[in-house]
Amino acid sequence: MTDQHPSTPATAHTSGLSPRTHVVAAGRPRRAPGASLNPPVTFTSTYIADGPVNYARVDNPTWTPFEEAVGGLEGGDALLYSSGMAAVAAVLALVPRGGVVVAPAAAYNGVVVSLTEAARAGLLEVRWVDIADAAGVRAALPGADLVWLESPTNPLLDLADLPGLTAAAHEVGALVAVDNTFATPLLQRPLESGADVVVHSATKYLSGHSDVILGLTVTGDDERGRELRTRLARHRTLGGAIAGPMEAWLALRGLRTLSLRLERACDNATELAQRLADHPRVSRVRYPGWGAIVSIEVAGATDGAAEAEALAAGTRLWSNSTSLGGVESQLERRRRQPGEPEAVPVNLVRLSVGVEDVDDLWRDLEQSLAALG
Ligand SMILES: *Cc1c(COP(=O)(O)O)cnc(C)c1O
């Protein structure tokens, strides 16, 4: 192994095209008579000497088309990892020892647990904030090294003022990372708001079929972005959290329909959020008005936790399973997950709305709600 860095994308540029077209057209092999329309899957651990890369922990040509496609959507350079949490770990490793991280108290639970354990081990200091309270976030900024933003948050669906908080963080010299898993680059592009690095769990909407675990970082195309990308790539190479070529290929295949999937899922979510708000068993609906995740609180005899659990267990079409962002609708009482922040109500059920017929989805929720008595 050497200091080599992943090669820069070689396939055709699709700049100037709509993102809806980009997801279909990006990351294709060069057109030549007889060339394949889709990129091949390269199963190899090593390469013949004297090429640009000598070992497949550094780079694999199967990663490149997916990285290029997602990088183009976010407006930066993407690096693919073995999971969303591997991408999170690479970004947290940018924080110097003893550094200060400002993060949402109700961020994705893997991020909350990672930061909590790093703080307990004395590696860094965390200042937990309510990401929707811009004044509170600003008050926590002085001395910060990294500001972690997630918007909408998982699963409370709180929204952060990304451009405002990013500018404020930069004033104190902090790096800004944005977990863009829920929004996807079709709905929100944090690099355009000034963020330094975007993080994705590509397990979710980007791949979209609940069949792979993958993650990405995306950094800007300026000097600061390139310097960060070099450090992140080095972390990936040395940490070894790399994607399998088959998973990378499946993710690109899933990405082709991102725009169609998201459009249908968002329409379904908007409709279901309205119907749920009128249901007597639902005490609160959290839906920011866009995206395809809806969180509801279930009314119950005591705290509603048992009823929320029964709602999730009683559906036939929706699957009672963790994760989100696939074509198939899923729901889950989030507090059944160890490590879920206490800010998440015990009776909260997160619905990841898929692309099925909205009336079928509604009837299934209705029958499960009705069975609560
Ligand atoms: C799922 C998720 C992650 C972690 O990604 P994995 O692919 O499961 O490792 C990070 N952030 C958010 C918002 C997520 O939903």
Q: Whole-angstrom Cα distance, residue 248 to residue 254?
A: 10
Q: Which atom of ligand 1 is nearest to the CA of 85?
A: 9
Quick one: which of 201, 184, 191 has its CA closest to 88? 201
For residue 100, the cross-strand partners are: 125
One DSSP character per residue, 2-27 reads: -S--PPPP-S---TTS-HHHHHHHTT
Contact 225, 77 (CB under 8 A): yes
CATH 3.90.1150.10 in the chain, residues? Answer: 258-370
- 57 catalytic per annotation: yes
pLDDT tens profile 126-142:
999 999 999 999 999 99
The count of other CB atoms within 10 Å of the CB of residue 7 is 14
pLDDT tens profile 251-296:
999 999 999 999 999 999 999 999 999 999 999 999 999 999 999 9
CA torsion 217-270-280-130 (nearest 10°) is 30
Q: Which pTM does this prediction carry?
A: 0.95
- 287 catalytic per annotation: no
Could you give phi then psi for residue 228, rounded to 5 degrees? -65, -40
- 204 catalytic per annotation: yes
pLDDT tens profile 180-217:
999 999 999 999 999 999 999 999 999 999 999 999 99
Report percent pLDDT > 90 for the chain. Answer: 94
DSSP letter, residue 35 = -
Fold adopted by 258-370: Aspartate Aminotransferase, domain 1 (3.90.1150)
Question: What's the mean pLDDT when you consider all of the chain?
Answer: 95
pLDDT tens profile 28-72:
999 999 999 999 999 999 999 999 999 999 999 999 999 999 999
**215 CB under 6 A from ligand 1?**
yes
Q: Hey, which of 88, 91, 114, 201 would you mutate to test ligand 1's pocket, going by the most ligand atoms within 8 Å of its Cβ?
A: 201
CATH 3.40.640.10 in the chain, residues? Answer: 12-255
Q: Which atom of ligand 1 is nearest to the CA of 202?
A: 7
Model confidence at 339, in pLDDT bands (50, 70, 90)?
confident
One DSSP character per residue, 119-139 reads: HHTTSEEEEEE-TT-HHHHHH
DSSP letter, residue 34 = T
Amino acid at 90: A
Strands 282-286 and 77-81, by their bridges, are unpaired
Please determine, for residue 3, whether its predicted confidence score (pLDDT) is greater than 90: no
Q: Which class is domain 12-255?
A: alpha beta
Q: Encoding tokens for residue 78?
A: 């993407």
**204 CB under 6 A from ligand 1?**
yes
**154 CB under 6 A from ligand 1?**
yes
CA distances from 308 to 155, 184, 330, 372 (A): 15, 28, 14, 9
